[in-house]
Structure 1
Amino acid sequence: MMAKFELLAKEMRLKQDEQAKLFEKQRRVLERRIKELKKLPDEATLREKLAYAFEYDSSRRFPAFIWQTWPSQGMQDSKGVLVEDVASNRANWDEKNPGFVHEIINDNIAGALVRHYYASIPDVLEAYNSLPNKILKIDFFKYLILLARGGLYADMDTVPLQPIPNWVPAQMDPGKIGLVVGIEHDAKDATWRNEYVRRLQFGTWIIQAKPGHPVIREVVAHITETTLDRKMRGELNLNFRNDLNIMSWTGSGVWTDALFTYFNDYLRSGVTKKVTWKEFHNLAVPKLLSDVLVFPEFSLKAPNKISSDDPNKSMYFATHEGAKFWKTVPKVEDPSAPQKLQ
């Protein structure tokens, strides 16, 4: 009798769970339809348009996407087979993360995705199309795809050492984390100005985000405004072999500024204290501040050879070769920016 009762109770719970999932699906469909019926006023700001188009909910799961980019030329050989570097990189990430959707995006597909997700925000489209160098477009695309879809972006010169779901420490609630970043550089002396634009910088070669995160939104807005302003003033072209120019326009410099701006905006982050580079100086363990999880410099830039007695071994999540392939990437021909590279 008890066995039958337990079986009946189990069946009822299963039906309730299925019904709850159905209701949740119907709720999302209804919300989407209501949103489509609403129209933003013409005077809405760029940031308001981005926030409206890509809502942020920190309680949702991190989407199981891996995004990577590779130039249109050179991804496949004459027979349509992925070249060795691309195939090896795909295998490395897929082997560690079998349940993830893994997309390696070429230039043409990147442009198509940007047009699809940002069709209602023409300023973003104009800025993307106006960028005069491919590395600028690659940088901008990573933020654009993470804002729209979320997931994990990884440069092609990265290799995962642990599955992505293992990165968040067990004692932390993933529902309270919306963004995962690593430290790129933590200066030990005054010579940092020769190679970096900030005393401490956060890296962009690996970023994990939930769709619509405010930091990603701010970076997209800032790059859009900066690019359109440069275009208006006829200053789109710079010396793109200078790392500092890339960092300051679309790279880790502007990314770092957006993160510190977020931390120091109480209304958005909820952080009540002044946050400076000292908050993350000599970081030895993952640190959660607001909804941003920051990894130590070594976690996403792990050594190629790891000894068995290395005390940081459990916190090595990926390696980064730092190939700086943008040094050989040609500029993008833009009829609105006819100047030659300096």
Structure 2
Amino acid sequence: MRGFHYDKSRNQALLLVALFSLSVYLFFVHQRVREARLTVPPLTTGPEAQYAFKSAFREHADQHVENYLEGALVELRKRIAAENGGGYDPRKWPLKIWQHAPSGRVPGQYAPAVASWLEQNPGWNQTVIDDAAAAHFVRTVYGGVPEIVAAYEHPATRQVQRDLLRYLVLYVHGGLWAELDVFCRRPIYDWLAPPTNRRNKNAKNLWDTTANVVVGVDRDMPYASAETMRAWAWSRPYAFADHTILAKPFARPVRLAIARIVGHAAQIAGSAQPRFAGLFVDRDRPEISGEGAWTDTLIDTMSYHRSDLTWEAFADLVAPAVMPAADETAVVVLPVTYFANGQPHSAAGPFDAPQAAVSRTLRSRAWFF
């Protein structure tokens, strides 16, 4: 009988050939990807420095909404203070370390970094928040501000959820926030304590200032060329780190960051093409809720006493700087080597530089491994 004849041995041979070809193809793709990752993108400079930048989200910011959110957060502070018998001591830094792992389990590659915090800071309290605990926290503590809950839970802005959580936790509890891949290299107290050598015996202990936030420079490339900006996928040539932040409860920069991120998220959620909002969030996340949004928030906060403040004040920073801010507080800014060592740009210094306070153990680029 004529018809289709199934040749089992022939088809098995074809399958083996196909699998072998696929394996060879994937091997070469892997090699090309590895070579590309090991190649440092170009670091060229342009003719002029860029010390000021304004994102599209700030240009279209709804100031009315952000002011309302700030007011709601101030009322939340008052309510929490009343419930706790008068609030907190503004001179003290909470000895709390906060981190986030979606499932609650710390992946093996992050375990040494997570463990380093208590190894270097015995006596501190470390909490790793999972998604379920985070959602409960947001709904319970911030339930009276539905705009914040909506921004945290809206499907179109889920990519900013982790960034927003960072500030929501720090605003209420204070302490230190660190991403899972951040390795603590030396005790937190040493970051701002005066050097112990005799030459600096009169150095000021920066823990005794009116600062309520400590941040570090993450990128300092104001002369970066357009080619470098594209190659590194930077929205701006400078930024403060948001992977590690130390703050007192109810700090104004953190409050302002929440108001702005929620406002930016509202712009995305109200997009004319909500189906594609996630794509834009992924591309623009640094300016919506990431380091770009945090950088603008800090500079604007520190501009309270100096309206012309730009990144020029932080370029080539070599020692911690105490910057006056609103409400008779201050922000301590640490040089790039403290939080961003190991990068092949910004004169960041090596991982083991004496100034290194933390190091990111897993960067998106292969040269950090």
* Alignment deviations for residues 228-271 of structure 1 (CA, whole Å, 9 cap, x no partner): 23223345544659865110111011111111111222xxxxx2
Q: What corresponds to 1:169 in structure 2?
A: 193
Q: Please name the residue that 1:254 is paired with.
A: 293
Q: TM-score, normalised by structure 2?
A: 0.65
Aligned residues: 265
Show the counterpart of 2:357: 317
1:105: Cα distance to partner? 1.1
Deviations 1:6-36 (A, max 9, x none): xxxxxxxxxxxxxxxxxxxxxxxxxxxxxxx
1:65-116 CA distance string (max 9 Å, x none): 11111122xx54xxxxx54234333321111111111011111111111112
C-alpha separation between the residues in 1 aligned to 2:334 and 2:251? 18
Instruction: Indicate the residue corresponding to 2:338 in structure 1.
Output: 299
- Percent sequence identity over matched residues? 25
CA contact (8 A) 2:287 2:293 kept: yes
- 2:140 pairs with 1:140: no
For residues 224 and 83 of structure 1, do their structure 2 counterparts lie closer, same or farther at Cα, with a shift above 3 Å needed? Answer: closer
Alpha-carbon RMSD: 2.8
1:193 to 224, 229, 244: 229
- 8 Å contact kept, 1:197–1:244: no
Aligned counterparts of 1:313 and 1:219: Cα–Cα separation in 2:
31
Match of 1:181 among 210, 215, 226: 215
Gap change, CA 1:92 and 1:241, over 3 Å in 2: farther
Larger-gyration structure (1/2): 2
Q: Secondary structure in 1 aligned to 2:169? A: helix
Among 51, 60, 72, the alignment partner of 2:74 is 51
**Counterpart of 2:265?**
227
Contact kept? 1:144, 1:220, Cα under 8 Å: yes
Task: Tell me, yes or no, if the aligned pair for 1:94 and 1:102 is still in contact at 8 Å.
Answer: yes
1:70 aligns with 2:101: yes
Query: 1:70·1:106 contact (CA, 8 Å) conserved in 2?
Result: yes
Counterpart-to-counterpart distance in 2, 1:207 and 1:259: 12
**Match for residue 134 of structure 2?**
110
Contact 1:58-1:177 within 8 A present in 2 as well: no
Gaps of 5+ in 2: 1-66, 79-86, 195-203, 325-329, 344-349
Gaps of 5+ in 1: 1-43, 77-81, 266-270, 305-309, 326-342
Aligned residues of 1:240 and 1:246 also touching (Cα < 8 A): no
Change (3 A) 1:199 1:57: farther
Find the residue that maps to 2:262 and give its secondary structure: helix
- Is the Cα–Cα contact under 8 Å of residues 62 and 150 in structure 1 kept in the other structure? yes
- Letter paired with 2:96: F
Assess if the C-alpha contact under 8 Å between 1:181 and 1:203 holds in 2. yes
In structure 1, distance between residues paired with 2:273 and 2:264: 10
- Calculate the TM-score normalised by the size of structure 1: 0.70
